[in-house]
Amino acid sequence: MHIGHALTVMAAAFLAGAINSIAGGGTLVSFPALLGIGLTGQQANVTSTLALWPGSIGGFWGHREDLAGIRAFALRLMPPSLLGGALGAWLMLVTPQKVFDQLVPWLILVATVLLAANDPVNKLLKRMGSHDRTPGWWVGAMIFQFIVGIYGGYFGAGIGILMLAALSLLGLTDIHQMNGLKNLLALCINGIAIFAFLAMEFLRHPGNVQWKYMVVMAAAAGLGGLFGSHMAHRVGRKTVRVGVVSIGFILSAWYFYKHYAV
């Protein structure tokens, strides 16, 4: 393993873990770092997903007590999360490498826009108020969650704001409950995607998981998550989100230029 590459991805994973624990969007740091050391888009996506997933376990565990009283939400939204995540992971794995690399600028841009939309969407939902959870609302929420799962299994950055928006429209107002459920559903989406990635890695097409980088990144991301949890109140979500969004727009512009400039 090239020592410079290892230090680069470890630093990116540490920062991604810290960002995820404060505001979300850490993939916008870890994914481009892996691209920067020469990995293909699919290798970077799979390796980053595996490396950052342990941090989502910690996020879920930290909010586990906030899930009390919303068991009905979890039972209804977990199945579409798992199905969507599995389908998204399969679609990513069967996408030709050249096509996926061409999608990289768009994936980064979409994730950045989703992260940037967090505050405006929350303000809009507060003005709209809550809704009665009729059968129609439940069906709509489950379909929406299935679509979120597909996107999450395929790439994943920015799914948090999508899920928080859906939960707000279903009438949830307690941000702690919403974060707890969001973390649980993200754990389902990323967990089933990882299962699909590993199954393909061991059974059919090895090479997408860059184990030498994944292991050191997972350790660094865990430490970054701990660091971020201590810095959350000092730095604040808004400051971190502005920084990550800025990085995302710069990176998307760079990759658009790299892939599409004549």
Contact 9, 37 (CB under 8 A): yes
Cα separation, 209 vs 190, in Å, equals 15
In this predicted structure, the answer to whether residue 203 has a pLDDT above a threshold of 90 is no
Contact 15, 224 (CB under 8 A): yes
- Which is more confidently placed, 33 or 117? 33
One-letter amino acid identity for 256?
F
Per-residue pLDDT band at 261 (split at 50, 70, 90):
low
* Predicted pLDDT at 80: 94
* Predicted pLDDT at 237: 66
* Predicted pLDDT at 159: 77
For residues 167-171, give the mean pLDDT.
Answer: 71
Per-residue pLDDT band at 62 (split at 50, 70, 90):
low
Residue 99 neighbours by CB distance under 10 Å: 9
Cα separation, 213 vs 219, in Å, equals 10
Cα separation, 218 vs 10, in Å, equals 8
HEC-encoded secondary structure of the chain: CCHHHHHHHHHHHHHHHHHHHHCCCCHHHHHHHHHHCCCCHHHHHHHHHHHHHHHHHHHHHHCHHHHCCCHHHHHHHHHHHHHHHHHHHHHHHHCCHHHHHHHHHHHHHHHHHHHHCHHHHHHHHHHHCCCCCCHHHHHHHHHHHHHHHHHHHHCCCCHHHHHHHHHHHCCCCCHHHHHHHHHHHHHHHHHHHHHHHHHHHHHCCCCCCCHHHHHHHHHHHHHHHHHHHHHHHHHCHHHHHHHHHHHHHHHHHHHHHHHHCC
pLDDT digits (tens, 9 = 90+) for 21-41: 776 678 888 888 998 898 988
- Which is more confidently placed, 196 or 168? 196
Q: For residue 128, what are its two tokens?
A: 């709209």
In this predicted structure, the answer to whether residue 227 has a pLDDT above a threshold of 60 is yes
Per-residue pLDDT band at 18 (split at 50, 70, 90):
confident
Give domain limits for the chain: 3-260
For residues 117-144, give the mean pLDDT.
Answer: 70
pTM of the model: 0.80
Mean pLDDT, the chain, whole residue set: 81
